[in-house]
Structure 1
Amino acid sequence: MALEDGKEPGITIRLIQNRPLPLRLLQFFLLFLVLGLGVSIISMYTFRYFGIQNVTGVGRSNIFLPCFEAPNDLENWIRPPSNLLHKMNDTELFWRASFVPRIKEYPYRRVPKIAFMFLTKGPLPLAPLWERFFKGHEGLYSIYVHSLPSYAGNYTPSSVFYKRQIPSQVVEWGRMSMCDAERRLLANALLDISNEWFILVSEACIPLHNFSIIYRYISRSRYSFMGSFDEDGPYGRGRYNWNMQPEVTLAQWRKGSQWFEVNRRLAVNIIEDTTYYPKFRDFCQPACYVDEHYFPTMLSIQAPRLLANRTLTWTDWSRGGAHPATFGKADITEQFFKKMFEGQSCTYNNQPTTVCYLFARKFAPSALDPLLSLASKVFGF
């Protein structure tokens, strides 16, 4: 009995102690599982909310500037940039400017404008003449100025040239950097969807007619005004490099004036080009002056039926040499311009006309005062 009494309590104790153990383990395991699952869910949502935002913020490009924020209504799309001094490089700028609507009809009343693109080293000495030309025609034009990066214009807020400088780079005459500057002007002007026609002028250019005549002439033309000629001799075909093939053949090689007017479609063609640009950059170097050949050749290949094959800018090459004649104070007379106008003969929309040039160059700063005196009588503004 003592032995039995000694065994029975021991067995009873072991049974009482061993029964609750699996239940506690199960409860502990379930509690751990629930807590782990809860922590995992909370962590997942926390990462998705905070983590992805942080990653996106780090990878954001400088191209998304305040004036180019993602549009949330039509007004943001059609409003021109309020500040021309953006931080985009050329690659980003050309990509942004190449956006083209696929639907031709505009869902709002669009007033097409002329973009006047001034390619200059520094100041615009003939600015007062242009100020008078533009006066009273707000909403029908835009102005863009490409100067040396070191130059900062000191125009007053009332001037049409106030804050119209675009981000620029150094330009070398006769080099591809000249065409880069022209493409940069076109790309910045394309950011304003209302700009329909694009005219390249220099600081030595003047308008030969009032704004209304020029606007009507350009807006009603079926063609863009860029010279594109197949010229024999050392200054035409003689500049061709056989390394241009197969993109550009000798038969396709063209020459034309640097000073052009193109419509929006051709402007986009110019800034989006990656086929012809490398060929002209690498194989058209002085004495091949790329600004006389790149655009005329490329556009005559891509859209020959859209070109009038002439320039709108009168220039006097009669004195010979690599540069045209420059006219100063003593040259500016009524007779001088009468002779210029009387000698004009060309076609406009396939019809003969005596109004061929809308602009002229090169005029020295000393010509400003007599030009202002004659502007009303000779130019009509």
Structure 2
Amino acid sequence: MQEVSWGSITLVDAEKRLLANALLDFSNERFVLLSESCIPVFNFPTVYEYLINSEHSFVESYNIDTPQSAGRYNRRMAPHILPEQWRKGSEWFELNRELAVRVVADYKYYSIFRKHCRPSCYPDEHYIPTYLHLFHGSLNANRTITWVDWSRGGPHPARYGAGNINVDFIKAIRNNGTQCLYNSKHTSVCYLFARKFAPSALGPLMNLTSTVLDF
């Protein structure tokens, strides 16, 4: 059993181990990292078709001039990672097989993060977005497929429980007004999963599986 600590490089270690084990099954072509507080907002056939037919992987990757983004860059990462190459993104990612192999195989840039990305730099929010931006940007959609509600402010997203779950809520996540690109074409289907849901939401969600979720 490997110890994993929030905000440390051990989260990246865990991600690499998960990917490495999933890669052992040669039939696996797409790899999605979710948490226990995530739910699907479409049924499996829809999710499968969306991912398997995508020309890109889905890793959020951006750099803005804030303490939580550009402010976490450590100048000791130069010359291998320059300030303009630094990226941040959601830790909940989706990778195709080619990129999963490359992330698992990388040691050089992982070592830089292990040495120089320490609190308040969080490796799981920066390592994969930065690595993909450096070498495989054309293969990445630069967006996440996991919806989350930051509208309430603060360091953590909104958390939804049993009282929030109904048909209209799920439909609102699916059709939230967002537009994005999928295989270079505009679409309103941008999120396949959503978070953050409390354990109390499980019962009401199960009641929707044969209707709006169509499981």
Q: TM-score, normalised by structure 1?
A: 0.55
Q: CA deviation at 1:338?
A: 2.4
Amino acid in the other structure paired with 1:291: D
Q: Distance in 1 between matches of 2:117 and 2:154?
A: 20
Does residue 105 of structure 2 align to residue 275 of structure 1?
Answer: no
Q: 1:350 aligns with which of 184, 190, 194?
A: 184
Q: 1:300 aligns with which of 116, 123, 133?
A: 133
- Which residue of structure 1 aligns with residue 15 of structure 2? 182
Other structure's SS at 2:68 match:
coil
- Which residue of structure 2 aligns with residue 22 of structure 1? none
Could you give the per-residue CA deviations for residues 75-103 of structure 1, whole angstroms, max 9, x where no partner exists?
xxxxxxxxxxxxxxxxxxxxxxxxxxxxx
Other structure's SS at 2:210 match:
helix
Q: CA deviation at 1:202?
A: 0.8
Could you give the per-residue CA deviations for residues 99-128 of structure 1, whole angstroms, max 9, x where no partner exists?
xxxxxxxxxxxxxxxxxxxxxxxxxxxxxx
Q: Distance in 2 between matches of 1:337 and 1:345?
A: 17
Does residue 193 of structure 2 align to residue 366 of structure 1?
Answer: no
Amino acid in the other structure paired with 2:83: L
CA contact (8 A) 2:41 2:173 kept: no
Q: 1:257 aligns with which of 82, 87, 90?
A: 90
CA contact (8 A) 1:226 1:262 kept: yes
Q: Distance in 2 between matches of 1:232 and 1:379?
A: 39
Does residue 55 of structure 2 align to residue 222 of structure 1?
Answer: yes
CA contact (8 A) 2:41 2:174 kept: no
After superposition, residues 72-111 of structure 1 pair within 5 angstroms as none
- Which residue of structure 2 aligns with residue 309 of structure 1? 142
Does residue 72 of structure 2 align to residue 239 of structure 1?
Answer: yes
Corresponding residue pairs, total: 214
- Which residue of structure 1 aligns with residue 211 of structure 2? 377
Q: CA deviation at 1:334?
A: 1.8
CA contact (8 A) 1:179 1:291 kept: yes
CA contact (8 A) 1:178 1:291 kept: yes
Q: CA deviation at 1:376?
A: 2.1
CA contact (8 A) 1:190 1:264 kept: yes
Q: CA deviation at 1:301?
A: 0.6
Structure 2 residues not aligned, in runs of 5+: none
Q: CA deviation at 1:215?
A: 0.7
After superposition, residues 327-338 of structure 1 pair within 5 angstroms as 327-338=160-171
Could you give the per-residue CA deviations for residues 25-53 of structure 1, whole angstroms, max 9, x where no partner exists?
xxxxxxxxxxxxxxxxxxxxxxxxxxxxx
Q: Distance in 2 between matches of 1:247 and 1:380?
A: 48
Q: Distance in 2 between matches of 1:354 and 1:345?
A: 5
After superposition, residues 154-233 of structure 1 pair within 5 angstroms as 169-233=2-66
Structure 1 residues not aligned, in runs of 5+: 1-148, 150-168
Q: CA deviation at 1:279?
A: 1.2
Question: Which ranges of 4 or more aligned residues in structure 1 deviate by more than 2 Å?
Answer: none
CA contact (8 A) 1:247 1:275 kept: no
- Of structures 1 and 2, the one with the larger relative CO (CA 8 A, separation 6+) is 2
Q: Distance in 1 between matches of 2:202 and 2:121?
A: 34
Q: Distance in 2 between matches of 1:246 and 1:276?
A: 12
Amino acid in the other structure paired with 2:44: F
Q: Distance in 1 between matches of 2:24 and 2:174?
A: 36
Report which of the two has the higher share of helix.
Answer: 1
Q: Distance in 1 between matches of 2:205 and 2:170?
A: 11
- Which residue of structure 2 aligns with residue 25 of structure 1? none
Other structure's SS at 1:247 match:
coil
Q: Distance in 1 between matches of 2:135 and 2:103?
A: 10
Percent identity, aligned pairs only?
54
Amino acid in the other structure paired with 1:330: G
CA contact (8 A) 2:175 2:189 kept: no
Could you give the per-residue CA deviations for residues 128-156 of structure 1, whole angstroms, max 9, x where no partner exists?
xxxxxxxxxxxxxxxxxxxxx4xxxxxxx
Other structure's SS at 1:376 match:
coil
Amino acid in the other structure paired with 1:358: L
Other structure's SS at 2:47 match:
helix
